[in-house]
Structure 1
Amino acid sequence: MKITTHLVSLAALCLTTTVSAKTHFSDFSVSYLNGNNYEVGDNKKQIVTLEHFAVTSWGDSFTFVDRLESDNGDKETYGEFSPRFKITDFENNPVKALYVATTIEYGTFSSHDGFGSSLTNYLYGVGAGFDVPYFDFFNVNLYYRNNEHGDNNYQTTVTWGLPIGPLYYDGFIDYATSRDNSDAQMNFTSQLKYDVAPHLNIDSKLYLGIEYVYWLDKFGIRGVDENNVNLLVKYHF
């Protein structure tokens, strides 16, 4: 019942704001990742990621879905839907805007030996966009996490995008506090990539690069630290 109530409330809020929304910018991309140093489960995984980002008159939204497949047959689908609803804008200020920040996390996992699990978590709090020199964007969100499994806790999320000459560097940092059944954890994930589309006469962006992940106490498991470099191919439609 609690999950249904949260879903209905968030859906109603999104519908209400979308009816009169004007889209200022949107982007859709698909990525392929391949890495050999994953922690928890098989260390070799391939991932296909779909992402959508939009800036609208009511705020912004970011959505992604990961499909992970391991060499040992494990499969996982994980996604997040993160709309932020604008409270106010600022001019000539390091803080560009304030938001009500929300996220739904959802996922399913099935192992090669028949074990399965799922999760749905709800995050809500406040967010801010900052005007940082040279950065395309720099955002900070502070969340209260309503977790399906275990106690609730808090999370801080930082996201950024930085052009560096012909390269582009973007990523996020998630820090979640400890809970009854898990330690605090910090996930630093960033991508450094180069747009090869101009060399191939492609109109849309086609990035080649790497994704680097440093995940301290992954999934809140003490001592499980992931240090992982992935091959990255990313196409923007």
Structure 2
Amino acid sequence: MKHCASALALAGGLLVAGQSMAGDLLQWHDESLTYLNGVDFKVDPSKQQTLTFEHASGWSFGDLFIFVDGIKYNTEATNGAGDGHTFYGEISPRLSFGKISGSDLAFGPIKDVLLSATYEFGEDDVDAYLLGPAIDLNIPGFDYFQINTYLRETDGKRDGDGVWQITPVWSYTVPLGNSDLVIDGFMDWVVDNDKSYHANLHFNPQIKYDLAKALGFGKKFYVGVEYDYWSDKYGIEDSRAFHTDQSAISALAKVHF
């Protein structure tokens, strides 16, 4: 977990430094911690616990999303480092052409046009760099709905170099009693192959209830479930000899601060 702690410290340091210099550049920000306890994972050990730090922020020139997962395998099986733990994270800045130009780019259901980037990092040489166009949509009922399109580059150190990925991201809030039920998540759809990386689809929604609001507390505290479907996980084609189609579910607790 030392690598995970270092990654969290780096992300936190970057955020503090950025916010101290931001002034009017920073429009809003939100931080959270999520605990997951799940079963039925494929490729990796079947039982896992995950602690996730997330940061989301809006800026005068775009937005930023960062997350870091610290993962513990609930089994004697280990990761490549042999310690039963691993970490993974992404840093995803987006530049808004509407904000930068000062123009209203809304057209039909399109709210804004953006340039989206993502840096993926973790253990075992999983680094990848993603860049491409994105749009924000105005869909009735949704808190937000994004469609990001990326070309993936890995410098040849990881499979999946030079393939295209489409990533919708969404959130939908349903009033429930004196609180809210939130359904949000993402989908990563790698639409083509390279020589050793199979096209795959990763669908990862969360359904969670704001328990803090129901009890009259201040900060948001959610309880719920996360569903993790991943066909041909990690770009490994599913087969009779090695099953890589994943359908996992996790209990969830999430606090915003």
| Residues 35-70 of structure 1 deviation map (CA, whole Å, 9 limit, x = unaligned) | 111111210000000000011110011100001110
Matched, 1:37 2:40: yes
Matched, 1:135 2:142: yes
Alignment of 1:160-175 (within 5 A): 160-165=170-175, 166-175=180-189
| Residues 64-111 of structure 1 deviation map (CA, whole Å, 9 limit, x = unaligned) | 000111022421110000000011243463111111111100011xxx
Structure 2: 5+ residue stretches without partners:
1-13, 79-83, 99-103, 239-243
Contact 1:210 1:231 (C-alpha < 8 Å) held by counterparts = yes
From the two aligned structures, give the one with the greater strand fraction.
1
Shift of 1:214: 0.8
Matched, 1:159 2:169: yes
Shift of 1:19: 5.7
Give the root-mean-square deviation of aligned CA atoms.
Answer: 1.8
- TM-score, normalised to structure 2's length? 0.79
Alignment of 1:115-126 (within 5 A): 117-126=124-133
Separation in structure 1 between the aligned mates of residue 126 and residue 44 of structure 2, nearest angstrom: 17
Matching residue within 91, 94, 97 for 1:81: 91
Distance 1:119 1:64, change over 3 A: same
Separation in structure 2 between the aligned mates of residue 67 and residue 127 of structure 1, nearest angstrom: 28
Shift of 1:20: 6.9
Moved over 6 A (4+): none
Alignment of 1:8-157 (within 5 A): 22-71=25-74, 72=76, 73=78, 74-88=84-98, 89-91=104-106, 93-108=108-123, 117-147=124-154, 148-150=157-159, 151-157=161-167
Matching residue within 196, 209, 212 for 1:194: 209
| Larger CA deviation: 89-98 vs 172-181 | 89-98
Separation in structure 1 between the aligned mates of residue 92 and residue 194 of structure 2, nearest angstrom: 23
User: Taking every aligned residue pair, what percent have the same amino acid on both sides?
Assistant: 35
Separation in structure 2 between the aligned mates of residue 219 and residue 83 of structure 1, nearest angstrom: 23
Separation in structure 2 between the aligned mates of residue 53 and residue 192 of structure 1, nearest angstrom: 19
- Which SS does the other structure have where 1:219 is aligned? helix
- TM-score, normalised to structure 1's length? 0.85
Distance 1:175 1:92, change over 3 A: closer
Contact 2:125 2:158 (C-alpha < 8 Å) held by counterparts = no
- Which SS does the other structure have where 2:127 is aligned? strand
Separation in structure 1 between the aligned mates of residue 44 and residue 203 of structure 2, nearest angstrom: 20
